[in-house]
């Protein structure tokens, strides 16, 4: 089974991913974890190019293709081998990020992103996608707080620096994806503390796991 986490900046998705991986491993599952962009040695080099705030001139198409370059490498090196061993895969972002950020917010459109997905990844899709939803202003405030005094986060701030309207379009993009594929993509209320949000996450993952086993 392949599970992905999605969300806008500072939505808390990476914390939820960590909590889920811990819970799954404690329950005896073998879990491969992927991060996008990133996830492999090559992917992390691509990530550095993508997120460097100095690269303000990057064209949307370049951005899209680099996201898929990182993803194709993660599929070959991490995701497909794990799924064929029968392990679980949990990914911090996947193609729904590209639909929301490059398709909706940058304006490239869903059709173009879906075509690029088919070219790079064929029919590979998560079985379950958890989209952690939080008002954009709240998430951005959290992300800025996290970035302060954190050299690593500051070197990856190109998207955090986009205007508020960009992030509102990302959130609207996620809602559109969830409406189009309500079975796979579940919006999770990201408000409250991480334990409360995790209860909502587990309430969706647990039944999906038993369904997948039967």
What residue ranges bind ligand TYD (CB under 6 A)?
9, 14, 36-37, 51, 67, 92-93, 97-98, 101-102, 143, 159
Question: To the nearest whole angstrom, how small is the minimum distance from the Cβ of residue 163 to ligand TYD?
Answer: 13
Q: How far is the CB of 52 from ligand TYD (least distance, A)?
A: 12
Shortest Å, Cβ 98 to ligand TYD: 4
Q: Which is nearer to ligand TYD, 93 or 186 (CB)?
A: 93
Q: Please identify, using beta-carbon distances, which residue of 3 and 209 lies nearer to ligand TYD.
A: 3
**Do 56 and 158 touch, CB atoms closer than 8 A?**
yes
Number of Cβ within 10 Å of residue 150's Cβ equals 12
Q: Least separation, in Å, of the C-beta of 159 and ligand TYD?
A: 3
Query: Smaller CB distance to ligand TYD: residue 2 or 101?
Result: 101
Question: Between residues 30 and 146, which has the closer beta carbon with respect to ligand TYD?
Answer: 146
* Nearest CA-CA partner of 167 in 198, 144, 195, 148: 144
| Count of positions (residues) in the chain | 214
Nearer Cβ to ligand TYD, position 165 or 206?
165
CA dihedral 11, 192, 18, 79 (to 10 degrees): -50
Task: State the sign of the Cα–Cα–Cα–Cα dihedral 162, 166, 172, 176.
Answer: negative
The least distance separating ligand TYD from the CB of residue 70, rounded to whole angstroms, comes to: 7
What is the Cα–Cα distance from 43 to 147, expressed in whole angstroms? 22
**Other residues' Cβ atoms within 10 Å of the Cβ of residue 104:** 23
């Amino acid at each position: 089974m392949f599970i992905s986490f999605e969300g806008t900046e500072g939505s808390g998705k990476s914390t939820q991913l960590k909590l889920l991986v811990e819970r799954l491993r404690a329950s005896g599952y073998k879990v491969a974890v992927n991060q996008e962009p990133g996830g492999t040695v090559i992917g992390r080099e691509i990530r550095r190019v993508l997120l460097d705030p100095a690269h303000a001139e990057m064209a949307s198409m370049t951005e899209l293709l680099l996201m898929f370059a990182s993803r194709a490498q993660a599929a070959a090196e991490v995701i497909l081998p794990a799924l064929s061993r029968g392990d679980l895969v949990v990914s911090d972002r996947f193609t729904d990020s590209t639909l929301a950020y490059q398709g909706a917010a940058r304006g490239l459109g869903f059709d173009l992103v879906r075509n690029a997905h088919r070219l790079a990844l064929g029919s590979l899709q998560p079985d379950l996608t958890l989209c952690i939803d939080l008002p954009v202003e709240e998430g951005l405030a959290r992300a800025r707080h996290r970035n302060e005094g954190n050299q690593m986060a500051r070197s990856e701030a190109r998207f955090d620096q986009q205007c508020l309207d960009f992030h509102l379009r990302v959130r609207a993009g996620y809602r559109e994806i969830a409406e189009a594929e309500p079975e796979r993509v579940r919006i999770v209320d990201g408000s409250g503390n991480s334990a409360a949000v995790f209860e909502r996450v587990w309430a969706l993952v647990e039944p999906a796991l038993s369904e997948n086993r039967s």
